[in-house]
Amino acid sequence: MSESLFALVSDWGPVLIFASAYLSCLAVPIPTSLMMLSGGAFVASGDLLLWQVVAAALTGAILGDQTGYLIGRHGAAPLVAHVARSPKRRAALARARALVDRRGGVGVFFSTWLVAPLGPWVNFIAGTTGLSWRRFSVWDVLGETIWVSVYVGLGFGFASRIEAVADLLGNAVGLLAGLALAGAMALWIRGALQAREANRNGAG
Amino acid sequence: MPLLLRRIWHAAPIATVTLGVALAISVFFAVRLVAFWIYWADPAHRDQGIEGWMTPGYVAYSWDVPRAVTFDALDLPQRSGAPVTLADLAQARGVPVAALSADLRAAIAAHRGDGGAP
């Protein structure tokens, strides 16, 4: 599979990398990391230009993240208004927003590169819960810069063994994303158990 | 263990299901990672052959010969900006990729035999 993808990248170059970076930041399942790897390899082989590959990947990813954030912010507004009907819920939502605004930037940062498969969802959530646009954008641009540099850099550095790097990296990233999701669920379950415990003690 | 599972299921059913799925995903990728690691650690798989997705420039790079060697072997002008894969080239010329690959191997061997490369 990765071989036909390499062929596509050499045929379409930066245009394809831009489009796939944009779409994959909106949760369309496209292997953009592989495309950036092969883009880096074709820079090494003299077929593509470095600045074009980097610029295409970076602008595509940042515009995609911004779109996801805006969809979360405006698209989910009716849903949020519906949830926040009662004063109690409104207070809980306000607390959640304060937490996301204080800590959410770091989450956005890591979700753009270390656990990239979770990125699109984090963007939607950041928009929905009202992480400030400026904070979102700063962390997002930092994270995407790392994402693009790492993949294009690895593709460039290991250009002659690109198939091996693609296979290993793809699965390593999948493993990391799975573990991150499992960790988040473990935290959620712990919170739910503590809440039940507190409820029971309060009632008894 | 079933007791613990029942407790967390009652406390947070969605999170419990998601946790199960996340762990399954993790195991899936861990197994694949190990399998590919073993595959690529085998020296027999280290050398990349000449394949259809490669460009003449890429072949030159991965076989460590000057670009002129591969471009001349295929009768191509050396220009940048419009890379073409061996598969596309083979289709345009109506020959199999294997034929181009054989030409390239011959040219690379000749180049190395001339002492042009270390």
Amino acid A146: pLDDT? 94
How many Cβ pairs within 8 Å bridge chains A and B?
125
* Matching residue, tokens 């690895």: A154
- A-chain CB neighbours of B45 within 8 Å are 164
Interface contact flag, B29 A186, Cβ < 8 Å: no
Select from B15, B37, B58 the Cβ nearest to the Cβ of A47: B58
Give pLDDT tens digits for A64-105: 999 999 998 888 877 777 777 778 777 777 777 776 777 788
Q: Lowest-pLDDT range, A102-111, B41-50, B62-71?
A: B41-50
d(CA A93, CA A85): 11
- Report yes or no: A17 at the B interface, CB cutoff 8 Å: no
| Nearest CA-CA partner of B58 in A163, A93, A132 | A163
Give residue A27's identity as a one-letter amino acid code: A
* Matching residue, tokens 């519906």: A82
Number of domains in chain A: 1
Select from B15, B53, B67 the Cβ nearest to the Cβ of A192: B15
Give pLDDT tens digits for B37-48: 888 888 777 666
Amino acid B118: pLDDT? 47
Residues recorded for chain B: 118
Q: Is the ipTM of this complex over 0.90?
A: no
Give pLDDT tens digits for A2-11: 778 888 888 8
Q: Can you give the residue range of the structural domain that contains A79? A: 2-203
Name which of A38, A50, A171, A179 to mutate to probe chain B: the one with the most chain B Cβ atoms within 10 A of its Cβ: A171
d(CA A54, CA A57): 5
Mean pLDDT, chain A, rounded, equals: 86
- For chain B, which residues make up each domain, given as ranges? 2-41, 44-112
In Å, how far is B115's CA from the nearest CA of chain A?
A: 22
The 3 state secondary structure assigned to B58-87 is HHHHHCCCCHHHHHHHCCCCCCCCCCCCHH
Residue B1 pLDDT greater than 80, yes or no? no
pTM: 0.79
d(CA A16, CA A127): 27
* Matching residue, tokens 């990728």: B29
Burial state string for A124-134 with b = 16 or more CB within 10 A and e = fewer than 16:
bbbbbbbbeee
Give pLDDT tens digits for A11-68: 888 999 999 999 998 888 888 888 999 999 999 988 899 999 999 999 999 999 999 9
Give pLDDT tens digits for A162-192: 888 888 888 998 899 899 899 989 988 888 8
**Side-chain half-sphere exposure of B108, counting CA atoms within 13 A:** 19
Report chain B's terminal Cα–Cα distance, integer Å.
Answer: 64
- A-chain CB neighbours of B61 within 8 Å are 44-46, 159-160
| Nearest CA-CA partner of A169 in A130, A120, A113 | A113
Name which of A11, A38, A47 to mutate to probe chain B: the one with the most chain B Cβ atoms within 10 A of its Cβ: A47
Nearest chain B residue (CA) to A2: B53
